Structure 1
Amino acid sequence: MIRKIPLAAALALACAFPAAASSMPDAATQAKITADLKAQGYEVRKIDSEDGMIEVYAVKDGKTYELYLDANLKIVRSKEGS
């Protein structure tokens, strides 16, 4: 019984990671996002994925932003941070 718990946990984690990894933009897409946003004056700090959208943490004019991009890599929502 003790061995089944770690095995079950390992299987649950193994099933969860492929789904999370597939939602992350690939390296080429991340490079395009970084280049596009740099052209708009942003400094990209981190690219992630949330709720089926690409989430980018960036800085522009000394202010931090959370930018949400759609599948066409267009900003559809932005939130200014602190």
Structure 2
Amino acid sequence: MTRILTASILALVLGTGAALASGNLSTQQQEQIRAKLTAQGYDVRKIESEDGMIEVYALKDGARLELYLDADFNIIKTKIDD
């Protein structure tokens, strides 16, 4: 019984952590972002939603970039991540 409870709590905590890491973005939205940016030549590493902004960490042409997207997943700002 203790093992089942511990496993359930662990699954809940890990699931919550994953949800917080991606902010309010659904898995489907993250897949759409990844597909759109991959088609544009980006290697997407991480997607986050923070303070109403979508932040994407990606590589392109050897450069590490932070991309900021609008609600339609269009790039509105690009920052070189040193």
State whether TM-score is above 0.5.
Answer: yes
- Alignment RMSD (CA, Å): 1.9
Alignment partners' CA distance in 2, 1:51 and 1:76: 15
AA at the equivalent of 1:58:
A
Percent pairwise identity: 55
**Residue 40 in structure 1 maps to residue 40 in structure 2:** yes
Deviations 1:22-45 (A, max 9, x none): 942100010010000001100000
Q: Give the TM-score of the pair, scaled to structure 1.
A: 0.70
**Residue 71 in structure 1 maps to residue 71 in structure 2:** yes
Deviations 1:23-76 (A, max 9, x none): 421000100100000011000000001220110000001100000111111111
Q: Residue 53 of structure 1 contacts residue 68 of structure 1 at CA under 8 Å; is this kept in 2?
A: yes
AA at the equivalent of 1:41:
G
Alignment partners' CA distance in 2, 1:40 and 1:27: 20
Larger radius of gyration: 1
**Residue 55 in structure 1 maps to residue 55 in structure 2:** yes
Query: Counterpart of 2:10?
Result: none
Q: Give the TM-score of the pair, scaled to structure 2.
A: 0.70
Runs of 4+ in 1 over 2 A off after TM superposition: 20-24
